[in-house]
Chain A
Amino acid sequence: MGNTSSMLTQYDIEEVQQHCNNAFSQQEIVSLYERFCQLDRNGGGFVSGEEFLSVPEFAVNPLSQRLLRMLDGLNFKEFVAFLSAFSPRATVQQKIEFIFKVYDSDGNGKVTFNDMLDVLHDLTGQFISEQQREVDLILEMPLFTDCKQVLTKVLEEAGYNKESLLIMSDFVKILGSSGLKMEVEVPVD
């Protein structure tokens, strides 16, 4: 399959389907191709960061920059593979793997405290920082909360600490039982 926005052949569709482990039906892949060509306005064969950001719903998403790093320069086959985690046919394991990849920005298979802190910052913006949380009973002075403290407290309660390096199986343990819902419907004409 070339890099130009040409018509999809049956062979192309099957190749893409195989690459994404049958996460999408053939009709859905055709729809996704139309969408890909719609987003790829300059016809370069991949959708650039600017082109993704021209979708306002995407641009206002707090994790858009993180996702752009994963999306930039993908061709259509890789684009479908990226989205396969959101298919209703994807397993919980695949969804957790995707979430892990979002956290693991350097791709070394380990999520550090700082990785988690970065994502927390993306999600909360400037709205948790130096917030007065409680008044210390003894000192009668205000106690402040920021992202680091929130994350540390919650990690420790779960049996980890600031130096822990989480790997994929840790994520499965933490997220596996929480009924993960991460699905997107591909509109088919």
Chain B
Amino acid sequence: MSSGKGGELIPSSSELDLDRPNIEDYLPSGSSIHEPVGKLRLCNLLDISPTLTEAAGAIVDDSFTRCFKSNPPEPWNWNVYLFPLWWCGVVIRYLILFPVRVIVLTVGWIIFLSCFIPVHLLLKGHDKLQKNMERALVELICSFFVASWTGVINYHGPRPSMRPKQVFVANHTSMIDFIILEQMSSFAVIMQKHPGWVGLLQSTILESVGCIWFNRSEAKDRETVTKKLREHSQGVDNNPLLIFPEGTCVNNQYSVMFKKGAFELGCTICPIAIKYNKIFVDAFWNSRKQSFTMHLLQLMTSWAVVCDVWYLEPQNLRPDETPIEFAERVRDIISVRAGLKKVPWDGYLKYSRPSSKHRERKQQSFAESVLRRLEEK
């Protein structure tokens, strides 16, 4: 009796995205379509309703877009009594608090620059002293920034100690995450290179604390960055690395998939969870909607930036775990602590289309079921 190798399918020819975590491992397995049985009939082939339902579901609401929705605080001023109160608030915020904050920030910059420039230029020979002073100065200017938003930050958990082979990861809401963390202890962060004045700061001051830059749009960049990360983490005297494995700013209610790069360095991972209190201000930097300058101005004209920072227990790669599983485990730890909902999407889908691998998987499973049912009598 012959039995063909029916069901053997041509493997996908799309290139394997080695640097991205496998979405297949995280998406609900298979589909919402129940496994059809029985002989293949015309109504089975013509009935495309499951696929159409999935498409319409995505049009009506999808978990990816939800991650990047700004959530401004609810307006509460819509009545005769509250409106004047709110108006007073606006006056205080814009005409009193804002100028004071600008002054504080300017004073901070003056102090910083008048110490940093001499230290940078004159202490060229004394590396250790120079490094320590520059670190302290960067911590100082970050404190000034935080003061300029009236930042009320609650740090929980033991402060990280400076040890080699240690990498910190945190969820990402805005570039101010870095400032808030840097205020407490000196980190070397890895960031997207930005244009404008931010880029200038990146290439001058932040280089001194050992920050690493990457460019999302350059494909080859990834290997160079991985190499730099590895070198930095092995170095004894460097500031500990701070990585935001989501790769993009998310709105502090969801967490997108962590990239595995940080989890392959062979270091201990110290997770940090950051949660902003939305009542005071929505700290999510929606980079599609506003520039960083506008974002900072928005923060400086709000009442306060209130947030909680939790330093969580350091984690190591378990012997039976892959780096991707490790990344997911740490994402779980951080999401639970900060009250974030997990979604199975890669943050970089903000900038590019999903790879054809995912569609091919659906096509493959449908094709398999058709061929199998064709065989049935």
Contacts and interface: CB of A to CB of B under 8 A. Distances in A.
Interface stretch (B63-71, B163-171, B179-187, B316-324): B63-71
**Which 4 A-B pairs rank lowest in CB-CB distance, beginning with the nearest?**
A125-B363, A127-B367, A57-B58, A158-B42
A67 B55 CA distance: 8
Q: Which of A55, A103, A120 counts the most B-chain CB atoms under 10 A from its CB?
A: A55
A131 B353 CA distance: 30
B48 A102 contact: yes
B46 A99 contact: yes
B86 interface: no
B62 to A, nearest CB: 5
20 contacts: A35-B59, A57-B57, A60-B362, A61-B55, A67-B55, A83-B56, A86-B52, A86-B53, A102-B48, A127-B363, A131-B8, A131-B9, A145-B6, A154-B40, A157-B42, A158-B41, A175-B47, A181-B49, A182-B49, A183-B53
Contacts of B40: 150, 154
A55 B5 contact: no
Contacts of A71: 59
A150 B362 contact: no
Contacts of A127: 9-10, 360, 363-364, 366-368
Interface of A: 32, 35, 38-39, 41, 52-53, 55-64, 67, 71, 83, 86, 95, 98-99, 102-103, 116, 119-120, 123-129, 131-135, 137, 142-143, 145, 150-151, 153-155, 157-158, 160, 171, 174-175, 177-178, 180-187
Contact of B4 (A38, A55, A143, A175): A143
Contact of A61 (B6, B13, B54, B364): B54
Contacts of B52: 63, 67, 86, 98-99, 102, 182
A64 B362 CA distance: 13
Given A63-B52, A128-B371, A154 B45 contact: yes
Interface in B13-49: 13, 40-49
B56 A86 contact: yes
Contacts of B122: none
Contacts of A120: 45
Contacts of B353: 53, 56, 59
A55 B58 contact: yes
B345 interface: yes
Contacts of B41: 154, 157-158
B49 A116 contact: no
Nearest to A158: B42
B354 interface: yes
Interface residues of B, number: 54
Contacts of A124: 363, 366-367, 370
A134 to B, nearest CB: 4
Nearest to B365: A127
A128 B52 CA distance: 21
Contacts of A175: 43, 46-47
A87 to B, nearest CB: 10
B374 interface: yes
Contacts of B62: 55-58
A104 B63 CA distance: 31
Given A86-B56, A125-B364, A154-B42, A60 B374 contact: no
B128 interface: no
B55 A131 contact: no
B126 interface: no
Nearest to A127: B367
A178 B59 contact: no
B204 interface: no
A155 B42 CA distance: 6
B107 to A, nearest CB: 40
Given A52-B59, A59-B354, A157-B42, A126 B10 contact: yes
Contacts of A181: 49-50, 53
Contacts of B47: 99, 175, 178, 180
Contacts of A160: 42
A92 B201 CA distance: 62
Nearest to A95: B49
B114 interface: no
A65 B54 CA distance: 14
A188 to B, nearest CB: 11
Contact of A57 (B49, B63, B288, B367): B63
